[in-house]
Amino acid sequence: MGMEKQKLVKTRFIAFVATSIDGRIAESGKSGTDWTSKEDWNFFQRLLKKFDAVVVGHNTFRVAKDHIKRRNAIVLTSKVHKIKTKGRAVFFNPEKSSLKRFLQSKNYKKVAILGGAKVYDFCLRNKMLDELYVTIEPYVFTAGVPMFSGVKFKKYKLLLQSTKKLNKSGTILLHYKNQ
């Protein structure tokens, strides 16, 4: 009798992005999202309750540590060579191991991708972005961190599922599915 292979769950990856009109998610890698609307925050928190884990980059973790450390968090970083756990946070180098396999081994069915730009880009390139919620806040930053940090040009086509105006100030929520 051979060893039975463990059946891995199908993990769904859903990204959440708050952006300015000109596609910036932050002023810098050290700045937070204190410029986003309370309507976006409420939507985000309500949906986040339904997720098994969140994936963030090291900068996002540092900026939002108090909120993130209450959840199962996978922090992507090149600063570790092997998986390191601290509380509910797992520091993970995606260049050293398969993130998708790791998440499936934990039986995580729904994983929220919370950024930043390198994380969104990594997940998109590695087919780990099934849905994307983009909240466009009515600001123009003129400079700052872009939504995706791709180094090579590649075009991805997403299918718009819904649009919703969240407030009178003009905050718009877009929901896309990856084809």
Q: How much is the pLDDT for 2?
A: 46
- Assigned CATH for 12-26+36-178: 3.40.430.10
- Backbone φ and ψ for 26, nearest 5 degrees, come out as -170, 160
What is the tens place of the pLDDT at every residue in 81-123? 999 999 889 999 999 989 999 998 899 999 999 999 999 999 9
Sequence ranges of the domains in the chain: 12-26+36-178
Q: How many CA atoms lie within 13 A of 111 on its CB side?
A: 30
Q: How much is the pLDDT for 8?
A: 65
